[in-house]
Amino acid sequence: MFGSLSALPADPILGLSAKYRANTNPKKIDLGVGVYKNEAGHTAVLKCVKAAEKHRLDTEDTKVYIGPTGSSLFNEEMAKLIFGHHKVLLENRTRTVSTPGGTGALRVAAEFINSCKAGATIWISNPTWTNHIGVFEAAGLNVKTYPYYDYENKTLDFDGMLAALKEVKADDAVLLHACCHNPSGMDLTKEQWQQIAEVAKNVGFLPLIDMAYQGFGEGLEEDAYGLRLMADSVKEMIVCSSCSKNFGLYRERIGACSIIAQNTHSADIANSVMLKVVRCIYSMPPAHGAAIVETILLSDELRAQWYIELQEMRDRINSNRTLLVDKIAAAGVTRDFSFIARQKGMFSFLGLTPEQVQQLQDEYSIYMVGSSRMSIAGIAQSNVDYLAQSIAKVL
């Protein structure tokens, strides 16, 4: 049977990481992988996470399954983190399950949508995280795109986005990035979120909000603004969230899928379907990451420490944006790169051609995705001059 298979190309980002590791150039720079790195280029374990893990090690007394829903404490605390004091919690219209990372949450959401309507259409931004397409198609959904990023002007194509969403059908789903858009770094303003929420209400499509970077843009509350506004406007919604970035729990694979229904009864029905989806994909979620998160969120001391560490990561990313813009200008580049400083989150498009990106890799050992999407966290004081000068040379 295996003889009928043909080799598939490697994931472009994972393949890029492998090339970077094999490179022996001491000046090499990895701007491809989407993980936070400190000034030394290391993805360290947060201090609050270390403390929570010690607590778990001291108190855990069983390794028994935790059930398809996952940890109820984690689910409750994640719902509060996502929705704050929103009326959907007070009205008991939400249900949350623990998932294996944000990707697991997206797959659960996709399978749930397919259970509601087999072969449903989901609209995603152009561009978006490349794995969105694969996850949704694997669940049987039909994927279409709406305009989002204006490559020429390095800004948001909001008029194109708004016009496209007005043409979406009422029984379609629309994926929206809550904050720190991956890969463009271009986020919706509060006023733009209000317009999108109004369209969602009028058209009746199902919003699916992907929030992988809460706290990495402007702050925990600020980054949830659009999501909560949308919840004000529609009767049904799905939110997929991740603890990989803001808690640094990449390898623990912990996320959440939250469903908002019209009322408590509908929420219970939707939850039963979601749990059936979970049971058929991975049966039970992992427990360790959820235990760490709930320990931090339920402890005043650890929660305060997490706020500090999260702000340090956010401030470093934002300062890296300004630093790179200044260094590129100092290297003699006349092209305007100021858009980098106006974007949010981990990523930005440099606006280079695929040939220039390849030249950076071949001649200067600088690795980024072929679209010139770069991870801002890979920039450091020790490499930014070399990076800026190399960009100037390929330009």
Same domain, 178 and 134: yes
> Dihedral sign, CA of 324, 151, 225, 239?
negative
What's the rounded mean pLDDT across residues 337-342? Answer: 96
What's the rounded mean pLDDT across residues 254-273? Answer: 98
Same domain, 107 and 222: yes
- State the pLDDT at residue 34: 87
Catalytic site residue from 37, 245, 327, 344? 245
Same domain, 286 and 321: no
What's the rounded mean pLDDT across residues 41-63? Answer: 96
What's the rounded mean pLDDT across residues 355-377? Answer: 95
Mean of the per-residue pLDDT values for the chain?
96
Same domain, 265 and 353: no
Cα-to-chain-centroid distance, residue 52 = 24
> Dihedral sign, CA of 205, 210, 211, 217?
negative
Main-chain phi, psi angles of 332, to 5 degrees: 95, 10
The CATH number linked to 72 is 3.40.640.10
Contact 173, 204 (CB under 8 A): no
What's the rounded mean pLDDT across residues 173-186? Answer: 97
- DSSP sequence for 268-323: HHHHHHHHHHHHHHTSS--SHHHHHHHHHHH-HHHHHHHHHHHHHHHHHHHHHHHH
Catalytic site residue from 30, 37, 129, 306? 129
Main-chain phi, psi angles of 145, to 5 degrees: -120, 155
Angle value at C-alpha 87, between 81 and 90, nearest 5 degrees? 85
Catalytic site residue from 157, 187, 210, 223? 210
SS3 of 173, please?
A: strand
- Alpha-carbon torsion angle 7, 9, 14, 20, nearest 10: 100
- State the pLDDT at residue 241: 98
Structure tokens at 54: 């010690």
Find the domain containing 171 and state its range: 65-298
- Which residue has tokens 């022996």? 24
Same domain, 125 and 253: yes
pTM comes to 0.96
pLDDT surpasses 90 at 303: yes
Same domain, 163 and 250: yes
- State the pLDDT at residue 15: 80
Same domain, 262 and 357: no
Structure tokens at 145: 């795109």
SS3 of 121, please?
A: strand
- State the pLDDT at residue 290: 98
- Give the pLDDT band of residue 18 (cuts 50, 70, 90): confident
Pick from 298, 328, 363: which residue ends a domain? 298
What's the rounded mean pLDDT across residues 315-321? Answer: 97
pLDDT surpasses 80 at 14: no
- State the pLDDT at residue 137: 98
- Give the pLDDT band of residue 33 (cuts 50, 70, 90): confident
Number of domains in the chain: 2
Residue 129 is a catalytic residue: yes
Cα-to-chain-centroid distance, residue 68 = 23
Q: Phi/psi class of residue 182: alpha, beta or left (left: φ > 0; alpha: ψ in -120 to 50)? A: beta
Residue 245 is a catalytic residue: yes
Cis peptide before 354 (omega within 30 of 0): no
Main-chain phi, psi angles of 147, to 5 degrees: -60, 145
